[in-house]
Amino acid sequence: MEKLFSSLEDEGSFLVVENKEGAINVMTIGWAQVGIVWGRRIMSVFIRPSRYTHSLIERAEYFSVCVPPKGKMRRELSFCGSRSARDLNKVKECGFVLENGCRKGIKFIKGSALVYECRIVSRSRIFKEETDKGIKRDYYPGNDYHSVYYGEIINIKEGNP
């Protein structure tokens, strides 16, 4: 778990989503939470509705969070965090090899140091009216409030899968 925390504090990690129609995207994330909710191991990820990934995850059952090896994949993290899959194929552009996860509909990036495979069990939104003024000022100047996806962690791969 320490790998995830240090990754999110540094360059970030990758979120990989494949929707029910087979569309796939990789997105850089810097916000995630891991804990016990509803008696299950849950990873929560935050995605703004303006992102292409949001439209995919709305029609997905699973997602994975792929932690890159320490100090590696910096170019790819920057690229996936600054480009939209509406305009190009990030998997191809970054030269990622996607592997199948433990269930149909889960993909992950080969060479990741750590992979969390998650089944979406709930979704929620962050609402402007219920958010602290300082958080609104610092993180939502454009009023693009995140949706939160709660994924039950169904498999964890360590090393360089």
What are 142's two structure tokens?
A: 């454009």
Query: What CATH fold (topology level) applies to the domain 2-158?
Result: Pnp Oxidase; Chain A (2.30.110)
The domain limits of the chain are: 2-158
pLDDT the model gives residue 8: 64
The percentage of the chain sitting over the pLDDT mark of 90, rounded to a whole number, equals 70
Assign 119 a pLDDT band (cuts: 50, 70, 90).
Answer: very high
Rounded mean pLDDT of 79-92?
Answer: 88
Task: Say how far apart CA 53 and CA 29 lie, in whole Å.
Answer: 11
Residue 147 Cα to chain centre, angstroms = 12
Rounded mean pLDDT of 106-129?
Answer: 95
Query: What is the separation, in whole angstroms, between the first and last Cα of the chain?
Result: 16
Assign 22 a pLDDT band (cuts: 50, 70, 90).
Answer: confident
Task: Say how far apart CA 99 and CA 111 lie, in whole Å.
Answer: 10
Length of the chain counted residue by residue? 161
Assign 159 a pLDDT band (cuts: 50, 70, 90).
Answer: confident
Assign 9 a pLDDT band (cuts: 50, 70, 90).
Answer: low
pLDDT the model gives residue 11: 77
Rounded mean pLDDT of 96-105?
Answer: 94
Tell if the pTM clears 0.85, that is, is over it. yes
